[in-house]
Amino acid sequence: MRKRNAHHTKQEYVDVTCKMIEEEGIENISIRKIAQKVGCDSAVLYRHFANLDYLLMVGCIRFLEDYIKDLAAIERIEESAIDKAIDSWHVFSHYAFRNPKLFYHVFYDCDNQLFEDAIVEYFELFPFDPKDRSEAFYGFFFMSLFSGSPHERNEYYFNRAAGEGSIAPSDVNYLCHACPYVFSGTLREYALGNFGDIDSDEAAAKCNYLVDRVIEPCRIDEHTPRIEGAL
């Protein structure tokens, strides 16, 4: 009974944290504010979550759920591995530029281990639907996509692309570094307001163009270039 109550209590704390992130922004939240919303003192929260950074990270995972579902859909599409890699970046930009500060914080501004621990705990508290848990993506999700390291997350896609002959194996490491660098720099500039008045869709399109320009010269397969738009 105590274990079930603790589980429910942690769910409540995460629910409150998620609502506050949505309403106030991740940068404006403190343990004291969360405790006031829940109706307890800070010491009670610390019995369930090690620190504010960890609780915020667990709360942030909820805002990735639509991204996760769309990424799972890419895995079901019958297309080449290199196209899956490109599609995965485009899906990422679609969601990241709609919530740039949160996505930058989660994927590029936090300790890798904190991220890995938080995403496991979140889905222990709020499990996948049974139909999702039966998919092959469920294992891929934990083993590859949500490793704390951007390099490791990209290895999954680009190693498959090298295996099918779309890129040279010698380019895998380069792409695993270059794509996250380009993406994180572009997302950060947009989060800081340095893109002027363009909306999130336009910013995402610009980022896609840059990432595509990184990938395209490395392709050695016969293909139609997927680069669209311009800076």
Q: Decide if pLDDT at 85 tops 90.
A: yes
pTM above 0.85, yes or no: yes
User: Out of 46-50, 92-96, 172-176, which region has the weakest mean confidence (pLDDT)?
Assistant: 46-50
- Please indicate, yes or no, if residue 58 is contained in any of the structural domains: no
- 213/209 Cα distance (integer angstroms): 6
- Please indicate, yes or no, if residue 229 is contained in any of the structural domains: no
8 and 76 share a domain? Answer: no
16 and 130 share a domain? Answer: no
Cβ(12)–Cβ(21) under 8 Å? no
- Please indicate, yes or no, if residue 231 is contained in any of the structural domains: no
202 and 103 share a domain? Answer: yes
- Please indicate, yes or no, if residue 227 is contained in any of the structural domains: no
pLDDT of 4 reads 47
214 and 180 share a domain? Answer: yes
Averaged pLDDT for residues 25-40: 89
Please give the residue range of the domain that contains residue 22. 2-49
Task: Report the amino acid identity of residue 96.
Answer: A
Q: Decide if pLDDT at 89 tops 70.
A: yes
34 and 143 share a domain? Answer: no
pLDDT of 141 reads 55
- Please indicate, yes or no, if residue 191 is contained in any of the structural domains: yes
97 and 7 share a domain? Answer: no
pLDDT of 134 reads 52
18 Cβ partners below 8 Å, 6+ apart?
A: 59, 62, 63
199 and 155 share a domain? Answer: yes
Higher pLDDT pick, 200 / 3: 200
pLDDT of 9 reads 87
Q: Decide if pLDDT at 143 tops 60.
A: no
Q: Quote the tokens at residue 59.
A: 């709360």
pLDDT of 169 reads 97
| CA nearest neighbour of 121 among 13, 1, 2, 5 | 13
What are the φ/ψ torsions at residue 219 (nearest 5 degrees)? -75, 135
Question: What domain count does the chain have?
Answer: 2
Cβ(151)–Cβ(180) under 8 Å? yes
List the CATH number of the domain containing 196: 1.10.357
156 and 87 share a domain? Answer: yes
- Please indicate, yes or no, if residue 160 is contained in any of the structural domains: yes
41 and 88 share a domain? Answer: no
- Please indicate, yes or no, if residue 113 is contained in any of the structural domains: yes
Higher pLDDT pick, 162 / 197: 162
How far apart, in Å, do the first and last CA atoms of the chain sit? 58
Tokens 């993506």 map to which residue?
137
Cβ count near 5 (within 10 Å): 9
- 203/223 Cα distance (integer angstroms): 26
141 and 169 share a domain? Answer: yes
14 Cβ partners below 8 Å, 6+ apart?
A: 55, 58, 59, 62, 122, 125, 126
72 and 44 share a domain? Answer: no
Q: Decide if pLDDT at 3 tops 50.
A: no
Cβ(230)–Cβ(206) under 8 Å? no
- Please indicate, yes or no, if residue 81 is contained in any of the structural domains: yes
Cβ(191)–Cβ(100) under 8 Å? yes
Higher pLDDT pick, 75 / 165: 165
37 and 74 share a domain? Answer: no
What are the φ/ψ torsions at residue 167 (nearest 5 degrees)? -135, 160
Q: Decide if pLDDT at 189 tops 50.
A: yes
Band (pLDDT 50/70/90 cuts) for residue 156 is confident
- 192/208 Cα distance (integer angstroms): 19
Averaged pLDDT for residues 35-47: 87
| CA nearest neighbour of 104 among 173, 184, 162, 171 | 184
What are the φ/ψ torsions at residue 149 (nearest 5 degrees)? -95, 125
Higher pLDDT pick, 49 / 231: 49
